[in-house]
Amino acid sequence: MVPRYILFFLCLWFLSSESVSAQKLNRLHLPNHEQLSSERVLQVMQDSEGFLWYATEGGGLCRDDGHQMLVFRSDAEHPDLLGSNEVACMAESGKNLIVGTFHGAYVLDKQDYGIRRLTEVDEKRVDDIVVSADGHWWLTANKKVYEYAPDGLLLATYTAGDKYINRLHEDCRHRMWASQWSGGLLMLEGDSFVPVPWPLDAAPTSIDDDSTSAALLIGTVGQGVVRYFPDGGIVEPTAVSDSVCMSRVSLDLQGRMLVADGRGNCYVLSEKAPQPWFKSSILTRQVADSLRAAHKLSARPTAMALSLEGEMWFSTGQDIRCVRQGREEVVLDKTKDVSAMAFTADGTLWLGTIFGTLMTYKDGHLSIDDYASNEYGDAIIHLDVDSLGSLLLVSDRYVRIYNPARRTLRQQSREAEGVYSIELQETQPGRRWSQPEENVVERMPQWIYWMLTLLLLLLLALVAYILFLHRQRQRFMAAMKDFTSASSPEEGQDICPQGETPWLQNAIAQVEAHLSDDTYGVEQLACDMCMSRMTFYRKIQSATGQKPTEFMRTIRLRRAAELLRQGHMTITEISYATGFSSVSYFSRCFRTMYGVPPTQLGKTTTADDRSPNDNPNRDSVV
């Protein structure tokens, strides 16, 4: 029969395994969202360089580099920049960004930030843009679909009847699909989009591939997300039951979902919480040229940082310059080979070089930090500061965490060789992308499940061990009671009580023979038993559940109880006769075992009538 305590812990284990069986899903916010020129976002995406792009309604096109927001929109100074500041959609193709607005389509060159209009689309509203696997651009405007070559040359125009098209999608078999506002589903065949069987009355709002089958995931209005099988036109529901589908979803460089929910909000959905390490783009030549053109710098920057006042500091490889009020000036001349820069909260500028040297600049004084500089000469490819003030020095082989105030330096090696691109993502609050905002689903990660299981197993083993020791002590105390209460064994009677082994009887006899010798200890007892101390310790522990010192003290106290019952000796005489060096220590041990002082035992009860298990005040069973 299974003991009750085992059933209890099994129930706990079952409940814990049910509650931690899945991963945690986090909703993350974009902290630079407050810098947008419009609060209503229709699409958000991350390009191959690591920049975040926002398509806003009324605020134009916005680009976030993690530090500041760059806005492309028509205003009084640039009335013809965009035909409309209401940007509906966008897609990246190489160095270009194709932008669809409520009044026409545009191509943004990310190298020189020049913008040109796609005249074939005219003033029509562009509802969706898709870049196919062969690099072609597909735009839906009004009742037509336009196909462009990667260089921007119009290849073909496809019709779709007299109904408006709102979404496009290329599936894994390179077939082009389209959905209509009125609820139809189309597929490209030849030079036109033709209807396919669509058994639902609900209008589709988005199209995507199903990673688990050869079907399409269709978002609808009213019936949630359904799974559509093109070969048979079969529709079946999915576990996703939201009636309003997320119509604008893309993936960032880390595989997380960038969502514009159709109500103007944007956020990130991720199964993993942000890690204290980072991943995005370093200052490549293409990005450096883009920064040079955008800020009209005199030279290509090799490193860049923003000061606490918002001023742009950059290195040209030969000196350090600063842009103040639109004017560029040299701050540190003859400062060569700087590859990374960062400002700390106290205004100190930290500089890392391609030779691993770390330098500081503050109040006009430049100095080298020999403590954190790289003695191996590995280039510092990135510098950043977390919210706790620690400096992160990144090289191709490892990452160093340096605290200038405490002068502590820790290093973490890379798991694999190669060049790493990076961007800080802290667990502490900071102005970086994707900080935790709220949990969509409160579920514990998988490693907690294994830890709880291990703790439960350890607890079960501890309970079993305690029960084993308790039973051993009960057996020993019963044996000692039988032994001490018997005056002498009868002829032919086994001198080993309660089935104990003869060596235990011999150990008791040895202690009895040296009862009045307070110097007689465990070492001498083990020697008299012809055993080593460790062997004797293990054997007495296994047989009695007591340590050797407790074993000897129990025998002495049992003898003292017998002498007290006889009443022929004083307490002082009994304490010395049973091997206790002082009366106070004897009284304390006696009270611990029997629950009453030795002066009271002889008057009220006998040793046979009181058992150590009857004592409610004892701290432990001895």
Sheet with 87-93, strands from edge to edge, namely 87-93, 96-101, 104-109, 115-117
Residue 507 falls in which region: left (phi positive, over 0), alpha (psi -120 to 50) or beta: alpha
**pLDDT given at position 279:** 34
| Beta carbons of 82 and 74 less than 8 angstroms apart | yes
HEC per residue, 11-65: HHHHHHHHHCCCCCEEEEECHHHHHCCCCCEEEEEECCCCCEEEEEECCCEEEEC
| Beta carbons of 73 and 60 less than 8 angstroms apart | yes
* Torsions phi, psi for 445 (to 5 deg): -70, 165
Task: Find where tokens 């930030």 sit.
Answer: 113
The tokens of 538 are what? 């293990």
| DSSP letter (8 states) at residue 535 | H
**pLDDT given at position 603:** 54
- Which residue(s) pair with 367 in the sheet? 360
What is the enclosing helix (H) or strand (E) of 341?
A: strand 338-343
pLDDT per residue over 452-490, tens digit each? 889 999 999 999 988 887 776 676 666 555 544 543 333
Instruction: Please state, in angstroms and rounded to a whole number, the distance separating the CA atoms of residues 85 and 66.
Output: 23
Mean pLDDT of residues grouped by 10 in the chain (622 residues)?
A: 44 41 56 75 83 87 79 80 86 90 89 86 87 91 88 87 82 86 81 84 78 76 77 71 52 73 69 42 66 82 86 90 89 88 90 90 90 82 80 80 83 53 39 42 67 90 86 64 45 41 84 87 88 88 85 89 87 89 87 80 48 40 30
The tokens of 340 are what? 């990374």
Q: How many CB atoms are closer than 10 A to CB 222? A: 10
HEC per residue, 205-223: EEEEECCCCCCEEEEECCC
pLDDT per residue over 184-202, tens digit each? 888 888 888 888 888 887 7
**pLDDT given at position 210:** 75
**pLDDT given at position 497:** 43
Instruction: Please state, in angstroms and rounded to a whole number, the distance separating the CA atoms of residues 539 and 504.
Output: 9
For 75, residues 6+ apart whose C-beta sits below 8 A from its C-beta are 81
Report how far apart, in Å, the C-alpha atoms of 179 and of each of 128, 156, 182, 246, 486 are. 11, 19, 9, 15, 99
| Beta carbons of 426 and 386 less than 8 angstroms apart | yes
Q: Please choose, from the candidates 374, 344, 376, the residue with its C-alpha nearest in 3D space to the C-alpha of residue 360.
A: 344
Instruction: Please state, in angstroms and rounded to a whole number, the distance separating the CA atoms of residues 216 and 231.
Output: 11
Q: Please choose, from the candidates 201, 192, 195, 199, the residue with its C-alpha nearest in 3D space to the C-alpha of residue 179.
A: 195
Set out the domains of the chain in order of their start, with CATH numbers: 285-422 (2.130.10.10), 449-485+495-614 (1.10.10.60)
- Which residue(s) pair with 158 in the sheet? 145
Q: Is 572 helix (H, G, I), strand (E, B) or coil?
A: helix
Amino acid at 527: C
Q: Is 484 helix (H, G, I), strand (E, B) or coil?
A: helix
Q: Give the strand pairing for 192-195 and 320-324.
A: unpaired
Instruction: Please state, in angstroms and rounded to a whole number, the distance separating the CA atoms of residues 353 and 339.
Output: 5
What pTM was computed for the model? 0.45
Q: How many CB atoms are closer than 10 A to CB 301? A: 23
**Size of the chain in residues:** 622
Instruction: Please state, in angstroms and rounded to a whole number, the distance separating the CA atoms of residues 535 and 532.
Output: 5
Q: Give the strand pairing for 137-141 and 126-131.
A: antiparallel
Q: Please choose, from the candidates 6, 5, 17, the residue with its C-alpha nearest in 3D space to the C-alpha of residue 451.
A: 17
Instruction: Please state, in angstroms and rounded to a whole number, the distance separating the CA atoms of residues 544 and 470.
Output: 9
pLDDT per residue over 315-353, tens digit each? 988 999 999 888 899 999 888 889 889 898 888 999 999
**pLDDT given at position 314:** 92
Instruction: Please state, in angstroms and rounded to a whole number, the distance separating the CA atoms of residues 27 and 257.
Output: 10
Q: How many CB atoms are closer than 10 A to CB 498? A: 13
